[in-house]
């Protein structure tokens, strides 16, 4: 039976997420509502996003991030995707750099990040809905200020038949006018640990650009 749960808490989302980790609850599959910024937790930025940041090759890509080695790259004109993996192949991390969609240049960074996160989240929900044997739980999600930039984060749990439960996390923010999406997964580490790993990955990636 397909399970999709969402814990929408824009302040104190970590606490709510841990309380939602029980797999005893059963929810009804549905399209999740858009995520909106909470003015109390994310300061509004008045300026528009940069309009001349379309060359993604300007970024330096580290060979290792948070102890994981670069395992492959898929690039297109609008996005670059990098896969990192542990030596035992039990932990994976994906880093995606992408340009703003047409018409998004006039958005504030908060609105752009929230919109991009909502699209990403809905794709994950649709993936779960495509197979009734799978189960996706969104344990916590919210918007926050991360190193001076608006960011969206989520902790999730993914279940497939005949496989261990996989914990996942997702962090989306902006670097130099482009989106950066960091998603990681593990069969051993919990989602809170993965969330911190994703934030360390972001810090290491930014340091590599200096």
Q: Residue 39 and residue 42: Cα distance in Å, rounded?
A: 5
pTM of the model: 0.76
pLDDT of residue 53: 63
Kindly report the length of the chain: 210
Strand bridging mode 79-85 / 68-75? antiparallel
Q: Residue 98 and residue 134: Cα distance in Å, rounded?
A: 28
Cβ neighbours around 60 below 10 Å, total: 10
Closest by CA position to 203, among listed 143, 141, 146? 146
pLDDT of residue 90: 84
Q: What tens digit of pLDDT does each residue of 121-148 get?
A: 999 999 888 988 999 999 999 999 998 8
Strand order in the sheet with 4-8: 4-8, 135-146, 149-159, 166-175, 178-186, 91-98, 79-85, 68-75, 64-65
Q: What tens digit of pLDDT does each residue of 146-161 get?
A: 988 999 999 999 999 9
pLDDT of residue 124: 92
Q: What tens digit of pLDDT does each residue of 36-53 get?
A: 444 444 444 444 444 456
The two tokens of residue 14 are 């970590």
53 within 8 A of 203, measured Cβ to Cβ: no
Q: Residue 180 and residue 158: Cα distance in Å, rounded?
A: 22
pLDDT of residue 78: 86
Q: Residue 83 and residue 78: Cα distance in Å, rounded?
A: 17
pLDDT of residue 46: 40
Place of tokens 């995520």: 35
> Which residue positions in the chain have pLDDT lower than 70?
1-53
């Amino acid at each position: 039976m397909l399970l999709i749960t969402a814990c929408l808490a824009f302040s104190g989302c970590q606490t709510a997420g841990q309380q939602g980790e029980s797999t005893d609850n059963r929810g009804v599959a549905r399209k999740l509502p858009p995520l909106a910024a909470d003015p109390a937790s994310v300061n509004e930025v008045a300026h528009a996003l940069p309009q001349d940041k379309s060359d993604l090759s300007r970024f330096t890509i580290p060979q290792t991030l948070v102890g994981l080695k670069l395992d492959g790259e898929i690039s297109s004109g609008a996005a670059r995707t990098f896969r990192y993996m542990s030596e035992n192949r039990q932990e994976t991390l994906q880093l995606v750099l992408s340009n703003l969609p047409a018409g998004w240049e006039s958005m504030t960074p908060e609105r752009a990040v929230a919109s991009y996160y909502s699209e990403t989240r809905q794709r994950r929900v649709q993936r779960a809905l495509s197979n009734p044997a799978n189960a996706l739980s969104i344990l916590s999600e919210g918007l926050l200020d991360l190193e001076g930039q608006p960011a969206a984060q989520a902790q999730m749990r993914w279940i497939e038949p005949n496989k261990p439960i996989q914990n996942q996390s997702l962090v989306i923010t902006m670097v130099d006018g482009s989106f950066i999406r960091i998603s990681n997964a593990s069969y051993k580490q919990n989602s809170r640990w993965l969330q911190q790993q994703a934030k360390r990955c972001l810090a290491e990636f930014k340091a590599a650009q200096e």
